[in-house]
Structures are given as structure tokens and as C-alpha cells.
Chains A and B, each alone.
Chain A
């Protein structure tokens, strides 16, 4: 059953700015849905409309079967965790967590028991009589969650709850929150600009850009089969490399090649056969996407087909231990994914940055001219005009 349904929900702010356009989403009971997108794309606006903190300009919001567009925040059966925790500083942890229950006139013994239970789940039992000011960032975050979970709401909203924590704690809290959510089985709508958070925490991930929903899918599917150029570039780190290229079929052999700037790479027939629509784009510029991990130093992987190779000169080398990131430039035209947070292309127009995730065995150093294997079967193809994936 759908726990929460957004049907073409739109937000137009009083100043005329349209922050969210026709957002349709269905949250399945008990699922963890992450809404991810660059900052300013309307994530908080969407969340706040669900919470009832912003009016819905158009469309319908349902919790269960009940339309709640006009319902007060407190009557929506929704709890929210804020980015800055929004705790009540004069109350102890216990009073903070108990507050929503107290307002709902829950009896004393029930209240006590529910608070203790929540504290136990969140490992806050020791801190119950402290004030928020005496707690660390991670503990405050837990209190904010405690205040939300004691109510056993139909929906749990979280707006970038981890962005104020340091990197290490964030990784830990990421797992903790996901764990607690699964334990409680509360439907959760989680907003973040961090695609790693989205991929690691979400049962499903919804990608949004400029107020428009781009794609909703399980993390693996989103990564493997992005609907458009934006999703392709936004999900995954380092980002997918995106260039303008031309797919050609050889008249005599019938084999396919992709032209990337001055170099050409053979494409296995199976890759084209899986996407019949590609035939309509033969000989025309399309967008070609290559994930960094689909590139490898030819010296490390000598048995790769020789026609799926390009040559390049290493610009930057980042040895990370388990892998080595190698940056080089190729002379194909870079395609802008439309992610405002993406790195700007450096240097002149004729060359584009390319990032490869190589085996740590690579011996290439900055300035070396090397051969790079491309796993051409993993190419992603997009329409140059619409930026949509070319598939069926």
C-alpha cells in the first residue's frame, strides 16, 4: 500500500518562483526513499510541503488514502528531523523527546515507557537528563530523531540531517539511521544533496533537478541505467565522463565504432543490439558516457581488445590505495550535465577532462603517455538534443 502519495505537486513561492514542478512520487509502506539533487533544486521545498510547513500550490498530497493538502502539520501524522536539530534548548533530552507525546496528552506511564524505549533504540539512556547544550553533534542528532520516532508517525521526514556532522561521524550516522529506520519500519522520506548518502541509505532514490523529478529507481539501477545525462553525471563519484561522440557502422565489416575527438573506439555489437534505437542516431553526434571504473591502464590489463583503447597523457594522479584516480585530457567535446555543483571544465575548449579509476598496480605517472582500455560494452548513450538515454 502507498503510505504517501504525491500527485503532480507544485510549489510557486509568493515571489513567483516555481521551486517544484509536477512532482509525482509514491512511497511504499516502510520504505526509505531518498530525494537527492544539487543545492537549490527544491528538495527542502518538497519536504516542507509534505510536512505542511509550506502550502502546496497545485497537485495533491495523500497520507494513506487521506488528502492532507489542507491539514495542519500536527494533524498529518508526520514527524520531521531538521538539519540544525531544532531542539528545545531549555528542556532536557527526556523532555525534548517527550514533548510531542505530552502535547498529544499521552498518559504518564505510557509516556515514560515510550521515551525510555526511544532512548534505548538511540542509545541515549545515559543522556536523558542532560540539556542539548551538553551533548555532541551526533547525540543532538539522535535526540532530534528520538523526538520524531516516539510518535510512531506514518511518515518520517529528514532534511539533510547529517550535513552538520564531521565526515567520520556522518559515515557512522548514515548506517545508524538506516538501521533504526529498518528496525522501526517507518516510511521515511530523506532529503540530501550528497549522492553517496542517497546511494547508501535509500531503498529507492529520486533524483531532482531545478524542481523537476529526473528518475526514481533503486540505487543500483540508477547507477547502471540512468535515464538522462544529469542523473548519469550526478550519481557516482567520480562522475561519469561525458563527451560528444559519433557512432558509426562500418560498411563492409558491419562493426560499430564510436568517434571521440580524434580517436575511435570499437563498440561490441551486443551493446548496440541491446539498444535498437541507436540505429536512428548512426552518423550523428550523440552523448557518450563512460564511468571512470570502465577505464583501465592497458599496461595492467594487456589482454583487452586493442581496438577498445585510447591514448592519453596523465595530468593528475591520485593514489588512494585501493585504487588510483588518473586525470587526463582527451580532445573530444565535453557535455555539460547541468549539475550546478559540478567542476567547471578547465583549460581550452578543444580538450576535456577525463577521470579514470585504475588499478593501484598502474605505474603511470604525471606526464606519461599511456594507453587506456575502455570497456566499451559499458558505454552509455544519450540523445544530444534531449539528453535522454537512448535505449529501446
Chain B
């Protein structure tokens, strides 16, 4: 291959990568070391790890981090189990599949903010669930710092399960039927088939969905903000904390916001290492 062809093919993609990924990343790292506020955008001041010190000593950051990790621990497994269950159920349905499919994919199609607002309406005065609650308990339904976390979890599970479902459903379509039949003849009942045939076949997809969802949980913003606004600060996730820090009116500490982003990237990376290692090993194994 001559040089011109080589550059002709590589330069465009390298240029796009540089401008969209590398430059912003470097800018973020640089900004993380500056004191930079909305009021005084022209004069960043280098303060070393000052922003990081601030963040790591802020109890609200730790509260947000704990809550975010709790969300990962609760929502992701729920999403995987529910998504798989629904996929297995729909796989048995042979007729009017597309209708179920459309209904099940609804949460994925709806804009997160809209979904959250509609869902929140159910619990507001005059909303269906609030009304049922009131007719049963005789008390008006109130969002409190006690139940808001549960409401967020339910809302999130609703929002992310379709992604798992559609991925697993697609995976099930590629499961060779004779492998299932072989297991049947070998003597495997439903659970054994699930364990020895279906799940191994879906394994990489389960990993993939888990990976994406873990990253998503770090980025959860809309659903949480719709529920909490600036109240219930102990139900704020890292993303909400981040935005609040960076844009808090009158101060708006952009430098701290950027430092926060770097911390998030590191946090995600640490959690993902085992997953990445696994899929790396799988790929090596498949190549042999």
C-alpha cells in the first residue's frame, strides 16, 4: 500500500477521533486542575489537585457515590433477570408477537424525561396510583426522602429493562434449536436447559448488557432529577451531583465539575475491569 492510500484511509477517522474524543478528554483533564467559575470564565487559575480534594472531602459526593453504586447493584441484576424472563416468555409466543414487542419496547422509545414525568404524574395528586393509595389508606400519597429512592429504582428498572429484553430476545433467535432438543433428550428439564444451554449461549450478551447498564447508572440524570429536583439531596446520583456542582447558580464551579467527570471515568473503569478482562479472554478463546 502506498503512503497516499494509507493516509487517505486513516486521516479522516483519526481526525474525527482526535476532535471528538482525545481533545475533549485532554481539555477535561486540564480543566480539572483549574479553579474556573461561571462568573470568571476568562481567568482559570491552576490549583493542582484542589478540586479533587474538595470533592473527596464533600459528604454529598460520598452520598451520591454510595447511592449510585447501590443503583448499579439493585437495578442491573433486576434488569437482567426481568429482561431475560420477558425474552423467554415472548420466545414462546408464536402469534401477534409484534404487538407484544411494540408494547414492551415502549419505555425504550419514550424520551427519558417524558417517561419520568408521566410516571411521576401517576403519583401526583390526581394521579392513578396516588388515587388508589388514597382510597386504600385514606392518606394522600406523599413523596418523601424515605420512598423517593424506591420510586427512582422502579422507574429506572422500567426504563432500562427493554434494552436487556430486546438484546436477549435477539440472542434467543440465534440459539440452535437442535442444541435445546439434544438437552431435552439428554434429560434436562427447564432449569437445566436454561443453565446449560440458554444462558451459556446468551453469556456474552448478558455481559454486554451489564456493561452498558453499569455505565448508564453512572450517567442517570433525568429520572433522578425529575423526582428530586434540588430536594432529597441524599437521593442524588453522581451525575446529578456533578451537574449541580458545575452549574450551581451564583458559583458554578466548572473546574470542580471537570474533576468530577474524571473521577467518574476512573470509577466506571475500575468497575468494568473484570468485565473487560472476561470478554478479552473470551475473544482470545474464540480465536483458537
By a beta-carbon cutoff of 8 Å, the part of chain A in contact with chain B is 51-53, 72-74, 78-80, 82-84, 86-91, 99-100, 103-104, 133-134, 147
A100's nearest neighbour on chain B, judged by CB, is B186
With A99-B196, A134-B288 given, is the CB distance from A86 to B188 under 8 Å? no
A84 contacts B286, CB within 8 Å?
no
Within 8 A of A (CB), among B187-245: 187-188, 192, 196-197, 200, 203
Residues B200 and A80 in contact, CB atoms below 8 Å apart: no
| Chain B residues in 8 Å Cβ range of A103 | 186-188, 192
Please tell me if B179 contacts chain A, counting CB pairs below 8 Å.
yes
Cross-chain contact A89 with B178 (CB below 8 angstroms): no
Q: Is the CB of A82 within 8 A of B181?
A: yes
Contact assessment for B200 and A74 in the assembled complex, using a CB-CB cutoff below 8 Å: no
Considering only CB atoms, which chain B residue lies closest to A104 in the complex? B187
A89 closest partner in B (C-beta): B200
State whether A74 touches B179 (Cβ < 8 A).
no
B182 at the interface (CB under 8 A from A): yes
Contact of B178 among A72, A86, A91, A100 (CB under 8 A): A86
Q: Give every chain A residue within 8 A of B286 (Cβ-Cβ).
A: 133
Cβ of B237 to closest chain A Cβ, rounded Å: 36
Partner of A84, one of B176, B203, B288: B176
Number of residues of chain B lying within 8 A (CB) of chain A: 18
A-B contact count (CB 8 A): 60
Chain A residues, Cβ within 8 Å of B196? 88, 91, 99
Of listed A51, A79, A103, A147, residue having the most chain B CB within 10 A: A103
In the complex, A84→B179 CA distance in Å? 9
Q: Is the CB of B187 within 8 A of A86?
A: no
B residues near A83, Cβ cutoff 8 Å? 178
Q: Bound state CA distance, A88 and B199, in angstroms? A: 11
Subset of 28 A-B contacts with CB under 8 Å: A51-B181, A52-B184, A53-B181, A53-B185, A73-B181, A73-B184, A73-B185, A74-B186, A80-B185, A82-B178, A82-B181, A83-B178, A84-B178, A86-B178, A86-B181, A87-B179, A88-B182, A89-B200, A90-B203, A99-B183, A99-B196, A100-B185, A100-B186, A100-B187, A103-B186, A103-B192, A104-B187, A133-B288
Residue of B nearest to A78 (CB): B185
A79 to B181, CA, bound (A): 11
Interface SS, B side = helix
List, in ascending order, chain A residues with CB within 8 A of B203's CB.
Answer: 90
B100 to chain A, nearest CB (A): 20
Chain B interface residues toward A at CB < 8 A: 176, 178-179, 181-188, 192, 196-197, 200, 203, 286, 288
Assess A82 versus B288: contact at CB under 8 Å? Given A74-B187, A88-B200: no
What 7 pairs between A and B have smallest CB-CB spacing? Answer: A103-B187, A74-B187, A86-B182, A86-B178, A100-B186, A90-B200, A82-B178
Q: Which residues of B contact A104 (CB under 8 A)?
A: 187
Q: List, in ascending order, chain A residues with CB within 8 A of B179's CB.
A: 86-88
Q: CA A297 – CA B288 in complex, angstroms?
A: 56
Report chain A residues within 8 Å CB of B185: 51-53, 73-74, 78-80, 100
- CB A54 to nearest CB in B, in angstroms, measures 10
User: When chains A and B are docked, how far (Å) is the Cα of A281 from the Cα of B129?
Assistant: 88
- A53 B186 Cβ-Cβ under 8 A: no
Contacts of B182 in A (CB 8 A): 80, 82, 86-88, 147
Bound together, the chains give a CA A53 to CA B181 distance in angstroms of 7
Please report the C-alpha to C-alpha distance between residue A91 and residue B196 in the assembled complex, in whole angstroms.
Answer: 9
- Distance in angstroms from B185 CB to nearest chain A CB is 5
Known A-B contacts: A80-B181, A84-B176. Give 15 more (CB < 8 A).
Answer: A51-B181, A52-B184, A53-B185, A73-B184, A74-B185, A83-B178, A86-B176, A86-B178, A86-B179, A86-B182, A87-B179, A90-B200, A99-B196, A100-B186, A103-B187
B176, B183, B186, B192 interface centre (most CB from chain A within 10 Å): B186
Q: How many Å lie between the Cα of A78 and that of B178 in the bound state? A: 15
CA distance A107 to B186 in the complex (A): 16
Nearest A residue (CB) for B203: A90
In chain B, what residue has the closest Cβ to A14?
A: B94
Set of chain A residues within 8 Å of B181, measured between Cβ atoms:
51, 53, 73, 80, 82, 86
Measured CB to CB, the closest approach of chain A to B70, in angstroms, equals 32
Which residues from chain A contact B200 at a C-beta distance below 8 Å? 88-90
Q: Tell me the complex Cα distance, A248–B269, Å.
A: 93
Q: How far is the CA of A82 from the CA of B183 in the complex (A)?
A: 12
When distances are taken between beta carbons in the complex, the residues of chain A under 8 Å from B187 are 74, 100, 103-104
List residues of chain B with CB within 8 A of the CB of A52. Answer: 184-185
Q: Whole-angstrom distance from the CB of B279 to the nearest CB of chain A?
A: 15
CA distance A133 to B178 in the complex (A): 17
Q: Which residues of A contact B178 (CB under 8 A)?
A: 82-84, 86
Q: How far is the CA of A231 from the CA of B187 in the complex (A)?
A: 38
Query: Nearest Cβ distance between residue A152 and chain B, in whole angstroms?
Result: 14
| Cβ distance A311 to chain B, nearest Cβ, rounded Å | 54
Contacts of B184 in A (CB 8 A): 52-53, 72-74
CA distance A79 to B197 in the complex (A): 18
Q: Write out the residue numbers on chain A whose beta carbons fall within 8 Å of the beta carbon of B197.
A: 88
CA distance A284 to B175 in the complex (A): 58
Q: What residues on A are CB-neighbors of B186 within 8 Å?
A: 74, 99-100, 103, 147
Interface centre among A52, A90, A104, by most chain B C-beta atoms within 10 angstroms, is A90
- C-alpha gap A147/B187 in the complex (Å): 12
Report how far A88 CA is from B203 CA in the complex, Å: 13
A147 to B196, CA, bound (A): 15
Nearest residue, chain A, Cβ from B287: A133
Bound: A133/B283 CA distance, A: 13
Question: Which single residue of chain B is at the shortest CB-CB distance from A81?
Answer: B182
